[in-house]
Structure 1
Amino acid sequence: MDDTEQPTLRALFRRRDLGLGLVSAEDALPAGALDRPLRWVHSSDLADPTPFLAEDLVLLTTGTQFDAGTRFDAGTGFEVYVGRLADRGVLGLGFGTDVHRAGIPEELILECARRGIPLFEVPYRTPFIAVARAHSEAIAAQAYARRSWALDTQRALALAALRPQGLDATVAELGRRLDVWVGMYDAAGALQLSHPRSAVSASRLTGLGERATEILTRGLEAGQSLTIDDQTFTLFTVGRGGHLRGVIALAVDALDAEARAVVTSVIAMAGLALEQSDQLARSKRRLNSQLLSSLLDDDPSLARKVLGGMPSAPVVVAIAADAPTGPFADWWDRRRSEHGTASFLAESPEGVVLCLSMTDDALLDEAAARFGIRIGASGSESYDAFSRAHAQALAALRQQSGTGVFHFADAAGSSILSALATDEARLVAESRLAPLRDHDARSGGDLERSLRTWLEHDAKAEPAAAALGVHRHTLRSRITQAGALLGSDLSSFPARAELWTLLQTARD
């Protein structure tokens, strides 16, 4: 901020040409009573001038209203008079001495002290208009200084934007010029820039991040105030409506018009920089999508040549479903940079495809938790088996019903029949078993359960009949009848294997 003296009562006292003298004891006044921003200087000798006064001004009077001829009650009149001024928000009372009366009434001095209103003397040689003019000159000087500060700050911000890492430099320059902490949260609600870095506690940063995420999620655009642990912040969104790119937070509770204009220009520059960065990121993702095709041919040479390197083998291939591509990619690149790891990211019809070294696959769990998404992950493979790893990740993803990471190794450890139990397979199985189930439904028979028990006992009639509680001849009769209904010779192994698959795949 600029160093121009603010228009206050203390600033008027410093004007030696005015000769104003503080009558009240400064140490008995409320803290900062002489340093509050002063809106205007007004003069009136009315017994009750408050209907014509605004807040935050200084009132000048010659005291004619206190004369005995005006029926001013010296006992309670001063108490009522000063009380009205205090309630109206008057910041100071100036008494012009030796105009209508010598000195200042002692009752007035006592009441001003009791109500905490600074009382000062305006000497006879100083006209009230001179005090008002001095204050108006201070207001004009401050306005000029603020406009000059704003222009100089705009130039400094423009130069900062031209530096390497221009957005970072611009946000840092804004913090220096406003002399406050400035932070910028990205589209995912994570703190991206912070200047000065250690000026705000971790708990406050967490609270700001939660509020920034809420603002971005709800698509709110207006500046908002937030108080955390007695510290007030003002938050502004970056980006156009419907496509917010982040939030800029300032550790300040209010901004004047010039400072707000400066912040607005930074928001515009940040929005443009992020939009350009977003375009570059989209171009990079399109390039990576093309490189993914070559990787699926189990040939990493093109990707290595274009990108300058790939994660070291053995690698894990993962597919993230329902991931918000832009914010996910921004977050992934930042976390990858923080961990110092290499990775490859590309868009595909199935979702965001990730390739990373096997030693770094813990990032997948963090990503799934951060965005609340499903991720299917392959086993560790070399690049000449990239297509197989991709197929494993896709298979794992299809078996993942909730959020989190599902590894192909978990899927491979389950029954092959469960992997084959797709919706289409279930429809076929239920269609093939329909004659059997219709018969049981009509006759109250138990052919399906008998077949299942028989196959569970390796197609042996004795133990299966015992498990069902029927005679072995009864069971054989049921099997023959079931085979006829299904049009299948259950004496052969292929027919029995197919029947077992149907029973395992169909819904009960």
Structure 2
Amino acid sequence: MVVLADLLTTRSLDLRLLGGDPSVPVRWVATSELDDPTAFLEGGELLLTTGLRTPRAGWAGWAERLRAAGVSGVGFGTGLSHRAVPRTLVGAAAAQGLALVEVPVPTPFIAVSRRLADLLRRGENDAEAAAARTQRDLAVDAAGPDGVGAVLRRVARSAGGPAWLLDPGGAVRAATTAAPPPPEAVAGLHRVRDQGVRAAWRDVSPQRSLLLRATGSAGSGWLLVACAPATPRAVSGTVGTAAALLGLLTARAAAPAGLAEATLALLLEGRADLAARLAEAAGAPLPDPLVVVRWTGSPPGTAWHDDRHAVLAPGDVGDPPPGARWGVSGTLPAARAAEGVRPAGAAHTRTGPHRALARAGTGALAEVLDPGAVRPWSRRRLAPLAAVEDGAVLRASARAFLEHHGARQPTADALGVHRNTVRHRVARLEALLGISLDSAADRAELWLALTADEAG
């Protein structure tokens, strides 16, 4: 989490705090000279302005609107429209509890934005590394004598807030706090309870974020975690791992199917190493390679299925029974099983009353071309992404960007990030790959490279 003090201590910016809390989180920097910029703000921004004109409602009304919009603070550029920050604004910011910072004329606003972007990127990288360590520790916690309590405590420390394990109806089974779960989270639970093992709900406000994840099929239990409002994306992965482990722990006393569902949840969340160890302990190793099946009606004949998905050896896919509909992904190594969820779902959308089974990629351009030529080409084309630490994140962002036709806000919504993060990732993709995603030809080439590489 980046706070205002991180910017204030950057000497090259020469910022001066005139009032307010330097520990306030800053999610982004926005620049505006509008009389009322709140329609273009999401909350958590440091709003930069030169005070080109005094707002019609005066600085007091302007500060009050910004506070209601959840703005973290105001950076006022001096030496242009004003030689000094207006005293009425200093008083209004203090009355509203808004942090107020003077930005001297030698400091361009873009320098403040760039510094915050650097801090956010560094924070995301650190958070992802910490989350990877935490997820390994969670597996150790789950194997201990107090598995449920230890997992809850670990995920609560990672998120920086309390955690609750809830039953299907929202009653508390275990928690790290005596406080009851927020009522809005229980209401959210009832809205998503029929979405299966991957059911999730999220609520973000300027004060906190709430993350809710199913711990088993058909909402057999729920993990609820309260986090800081600027919680890094990596924490969501930690919550997903904890939810799957809690599903496993609570299923031990239930039918063996509970173990299969928990193992499958880990596999499809990308925790293939942990899923493989659990499967071996259960005496039923996972297939490798495998296909992912999105099914309705009746599942394939495999122990590894929940109420939506199954994994099979590629040669075990037969005809669905009457009334069943299956969408089948391409063949994948078990370690990449999570990549089969989306294509299996897309294939399932092509099934219907007269088509019980559909395979992902049938008729795709990557299949029309010679695989012996296109796959090595795709790997060479995408090699710059494989050479950087955040290559997997950039690949996922590229696919989401292409799937949403280059629209940044829908892409940001799909990835769970700010639209400016999408903008920075697109710029990084273009720089690494030497392409322009404004070019239809380059977009088509990137889509082909991604599709061919994943098919291989």
TM-score under structure 2 normalisation? 0.43
Q: TM-score, normalised by structure 1?
A: 0.39
